[in-house]
């Protein structure tokens, strides 16, 4: 019989739930409370409007994923979007968001919130057009900041930093003119300290999952990382991740497992099918724990090389000796923080992503990889077959399954379960008795 570990629910789980609910409540009540509503991509400069005063940020991807958890509403939204000429093979988050907007039905209830302006960091082609459509629908201003991808080397990094800093200064002038509000640099500095701490802490939390047994599982991490994705410039985000980090450390010290029968460790690639998260629970029947993914690690975290050569949490800019006391200092620190992100560097570079995946699989002691061939995101799916070959050539077992992160029409649950069961059997594992 495999070893059975102690397990228990996260003590801060309820707090995470409250923060998620409160974020969407703020979006729904923002106008009545005199707050600005800004919308755009989640992996953008969502702290940039903080200098304008009270605002809420409606992140496109988390909202599209939320709609994706409701198969009926998701299908209605996708069809409403496609009826207006958008292709079915576009980003599924985009189609859920735009469809919800066109139907004027907000996932949490009531009408779809009207933004004051749209702000987008352009590193995904679909996302740039996504918020252009939002701006045109509501007749509101739209600003794009162009993010250079795939640059390598110190000199090129500096070019990218200068390029982004110049655009951020232009963005502030544009936001002041658009809103009629004066920009407050102190609010910006506070927001960035929260963002840097939140993303560093999430990376530290992910790194703790290298432990045996793993203290967290990927399905639970999807409910935890989203706080940083939606609201990382908020002090509540940094406070929550400090609380979570301390609790996960305690779980590691006391060998409290996410999966009590852990006997197989897997890594996931790509966004999950949000309407079918049950697949992660099915893996537990085999004693398999999913440790994480490049997606959940990098979207909310910031990683860098550690002194011992391993991959771990990045120190915040101030901890590294990059103090920021002025607007220009803050923009420079933020630009460097983004340019260094592995997700950005490897998004358009299959070879770079293969190296990153090999490294993560080895350092997190994974026995194999489950790869979602996701028709809902053309960007994250680029180079997956090359990634698969690189893993197989390194002796790492890989199973692929086809689906869509937020469109149930593109996923066959029975086929996915069949692929998982075949993969588990190929690893010599049978379902554990109840």
Tokens coding 333 = 């620190």
Determine which of 57-71, 75-89, 115-129, 281-295 has the lowest per-residue pLDDT on average.
115-129
- Judge whether residue 1 has pLDDT over 60: no
Best CA proximity match to 165, nearest among 176, 153, 157: 157
Q: Is the pLDDT of residue 227 over 60?
A: yes
Taking the C-alpha atoms of residue 121 and residue 43, their distance in angstroms, rounded to an integer, is 8
Residue 205 has pLDDT above 90, yes or no: yes
Measure the CA angle with vertex 248, ends 353 and 272; round to 5°. 40
Structure tokens that stand for 155 in this block:
């000199």
Cβ–Cβ contacts within 10 Å for residue 54, how many? 13
d(CA 183, CA 363): 44
Domain boundaries, the chain: 13-426
| Mean pLDDT to the nearest integer, 398-412 | 94
Q: 85: which 2 tokens?
A: 């000429």
- pLDDT tens, residue by residue, 180-194: 999 999 999 999 999
Quick one: which of 404, 7, 18 has its CA closest to 224? Answer: 18
Sheet of 142-146: strands edge to edge?
55-59, 36-40, 117-122, 142-146
Cα–Cα distance measured from residue 254 to residue 268, given in angstroms and rounded to the nearest whole number: 26
Q: What is the pTM of this model?
A: 0.95
Token pair recorded at residue 28: 């729904």
Tokens 């358009």, located at residue? 348
- DSSP symbol at 61: H
| pLDDT class of 348 with cuts at 50, 70, 90 | low
Strands (E), 186-230: none
Q: Give the pLDDT confidence of 26-58 residue by residue, as tens digits.
A: 999 999 999 999 999 998 999 999 999 999 999
């Amino acid at each position: 019989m495999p070893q059975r570990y102690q397990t228990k629910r996260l003590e801060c789980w309820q707090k995470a739930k409250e923060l998620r609910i409160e974020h969407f409540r703020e979006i729904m009540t923002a106008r009545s409370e005199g707050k600005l509503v800004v919308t755009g991509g989640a992996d953008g400069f969502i702290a940039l409007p903080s200098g304008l005063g009270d605002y809420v940020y409606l992140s496109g991807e988390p909202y599209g994923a939320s709609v994706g958890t409701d198969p009926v509403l998701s299908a209605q939204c996708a069809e409403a979007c496609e009826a207006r000429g958008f292709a079915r093979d576009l980003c599924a988050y985009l189609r859920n968001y735009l469809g919800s907007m066109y139907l004027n039905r907000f996932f949490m209830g009531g009408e779809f919130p009207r933004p004051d302006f749209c702000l987008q960091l352009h590193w995904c082609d679909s996302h740039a057009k996504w918020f252009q459509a939002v701006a045109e629908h509501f007749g509101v201003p739209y600003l794009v900041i162009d993010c250079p991808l795939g640059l390598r080397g110190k000199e090129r990094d500096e070019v990218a930093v200068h390029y982004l800093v110049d655009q951020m200064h232009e963005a502030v002038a544009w936001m002041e003119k658009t809103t009629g509000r004066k920009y407050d640099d102190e609010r910006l500095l506070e927001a960035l300290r929260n963002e840097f701490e939140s993303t560093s802490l999430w990376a530290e939390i992910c790194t703790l999952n290298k432990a045996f047994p793993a203290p967290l599982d990927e399905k639970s991490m999807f409910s935890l990382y989203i706080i940083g994705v939606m609201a990382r410039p908020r002090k509540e985000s940094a406070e929550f991740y400090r609380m979570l980090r301390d609790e996960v450390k305690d779980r590691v010290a006391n060998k409290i497992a996410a999966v009590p029968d852990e006997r197989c460790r897997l890594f996931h690639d790509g966004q999950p099918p949000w309407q079918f998260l049950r697949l992660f629970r099915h893996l537990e029947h085999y004693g398999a724990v999913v440790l994480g993914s490049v997606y959940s690690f990098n979207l909310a975290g910031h990683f860098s090389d550690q002194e011992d050569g391993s991959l771990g949490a990045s120190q915040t800019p101030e901890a590294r000796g990059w103090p920021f006391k002025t607007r220009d200092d803050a923009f420079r620190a933020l630009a460097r923080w983004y340019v260094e992100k592995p997700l950005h560097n490897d998004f358009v570079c299959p070879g770079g992503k293969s190296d990153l995946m090999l490294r993560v699989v080895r350092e997190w002691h994974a026995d194999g990889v489950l790869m979602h061939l996701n028709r809902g995101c053309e960007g994250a799916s680029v180079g997956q077959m090359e990634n698969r070959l690189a893993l197989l050539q390194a002796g790492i077992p890989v199973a692929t399954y086809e689906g869509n992160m937020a469109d149930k029409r593109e996923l066959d649950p029975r086929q996915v379960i069949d692929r998982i069961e075949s993969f588990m059997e190929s690893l010599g594992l049978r379902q554990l008795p109840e």
